[in-house]
Structure 1
Amino acid sequence: MQQNVMLPEKTLGKLEDLPEPAWLENTVFYQIFPDRFFNGDPTNDPSPVRPWGEKPELFNFFGGDLAGIRKKIPYLEDLGVNALYLNPIFDAPSNHKYDTRDYLRISPDFGDFRTYLNMLKDLHRAGIKLILDGVFNHTGDQFWAFRDLMRRGKGSPYQQWYNCHFPVTQFPKPNYECWWGLETLPKLNFADQEVVRYILRVVAFWTLTGIDGWRLDVPNEVRADFWPIFRRLVKTLNPEAYIVGEIWDDAAFWLQGDKFDSVMNYPLRDLIISFFAKKEMNADRFDQGLTGLRARYSEKVTRSMFNLLGSHDTQRFLTICHGERRRMLLALLFLFTYPGVPVIYYGDEIGMTGEKDPDCRKTMIWDEAQWDKELY
């Protein structure tokens, strides 16, 4: 652990209970959905790109990119956040990038490798850490290995990379294993050692660029015995890396010290919604729920948890509050004083609203006249 971290007085004498990594103790995360944050380089816009501020749909693009994030670092500094979690940035055809086409390339509509390195350098110069979204359970159907399998069938050297029947067909129903049955998201076969080796090479490549950790997409759908290997690799390359799993319920199995440091704390979010946003429970029940959550994990894990009010997969918190600002302010006050790492979903700080995907993925509002100044 770092020896020079400035600790609040309450933690002195309890170093064994510090979050892991130790830099989390004074960290506020900010989540960015890159296509919707800021368009810093119109020359890399996908075609067609929709006007900024138009209603988001499942398949439309708005031109947000890594250059845009870099240009808005002063905004992040003013906001007081000191860590970013980016939704996927690797090459993929969709706006969300969870359908990877090339794990070793930045998506061209976000920039290129130089753009990425410049952003990372400037973030670190500003004291802002960066974790990337690792989508390793499945690829997109345009991923090179899957395309080879579709083309060559049993003659493909990648036939063991996926669980499929031959000939491989996508329609009317895919005859290979995919995420949620979606033909565009074929599931990787982690029983194949070539798959494991390839993904570990990808992880090593990006970790060695200097990132500060990983958020892992649907890790519970990957063979559990892969994650200790992943952890050993990442922690060897960067002992201070932060590993967060997307687990929606009880995560005790994943937080034994051999897999993840933390998970997205959706059970805490559920309690916060019930108490602050919907007023469905009284203070005693809320306290009992919190006590139950803390009992699941060690103090170290509790203080490492990724505590969020919303994400790209949920309704905006202010929408759940029916626009009642005071409820959100109280929830934010609680979030920033409760053990764990507080996370802001882009735009929540200025009062953005939205229903579930895709409405929760609106473009960031940069006209300050439209900001809710009582929240900001």
Structure 2
Amino acid sequence: MSLVSQPEARFSTTWAVDAAVTSLLVVWPLSAGLAAADAVRVRRTGGALVDALPAPAVVRLLWRRAAAAGAWTAAGLGIAAAGGAVVGAAHGSPPTLAAFTPVAPAVAGSFAVAALGAALGVLLPSWLLPPLLAAGSYAFLAFDVAGAQSLVGLVGATSGVVLGLEVGPVALGARVVALSAAAAAAAVVLAWSATRRPWLLAPLLGVAVLAAGAWALADMDDPYGHWRSDADWPCADVPGAGGLVCVPSDQRRDVEVLAEALSPVSGRLTQLDPARADQDFSATRASRADALLVPLPFGRPVDEPSMADAVAAELAPCLRGDRDLSAREEEDVFAAVVTTAWWLAPGREQDPALLESLGLPDSPPTRAEAQRAYDVITTCR
């Protein structure tokens, strides 16, 4: 997909870089197949000459040949990430160092994928291997073998809404591939050195595999990547209220716009629940557990009704899967969300068909009706 086909990519450097990294999951199977094809060619044409090489020379040959395929993939990633940063900067999203954190492991993964393909090509020098390897990799993604789809489904480039951008799966995938490549390289070396001195090479390869494994597990405790920590996020006071609204660093241009749109919404929310007089708002879930989530504009207009809809939906924990609801209960809660959102933004226009389907009147709710609806969505009963 084009990096500029979604507003998120044009207005967020972080999103654009993540989209570039995510696109590697489409390229990696091809890279592995190409590296395998090159290794098969060398193995079949070199024959006895390759067999006669000492194990270290085989390893150097393997990595040298695989590096070519990996280099093209890594270069494409660098160009795409740089292009995304330029487009984001042109739309007011300054590049941040954190936005580029997934690039390094993704580059390592690109070379590791190529090495894995080359290793398999040396071990199994058949021309059937390269197409089967590429097709099999895509099949793993398509049929979710071993949860492979989670590497795609949890990242921003395949989602229309980025609310807690998760780049961890891509970085973790790169590390897992690196571990696999290290193991494959170990298998190649041991196969070639069976009649030589495997006892000398085995400890060195064991250390390499253990190091790759430690690297693969390094970031598993941080699944939300570079938008998880909000310690340095720019924040703004919500006018007329006691709370703040905070956005990621690369979205700082929108913090004042969000604050203005939230001002009347926050004021009317306080009328329903005075305890929310100091309610904070956040553009992602990140680490602000007590903040209500509001959508980032990404170049779209920011208005009071959209903020009211987001806040009302956030007030209903059972709509986020915290509790199983029957069809009737879900309809009642949804009607209460619509009523509360209408109270928070009374000047909005409602869809008559929606109101009729929910059994709601076609006039704005009274304070008493809004209070009952608020009680429904916050208690889910």
Higher strand share: 1
Larger Rg: 2
Q: Normalising by the residue count of structure 1, what TM-score does the alignment of the two structures yield?
A: 0.25
Higher helix share: 2
Q: Normalising by the residue count of structure 2, what TM-score does the alignment of the two structures yield?
A: 0.25
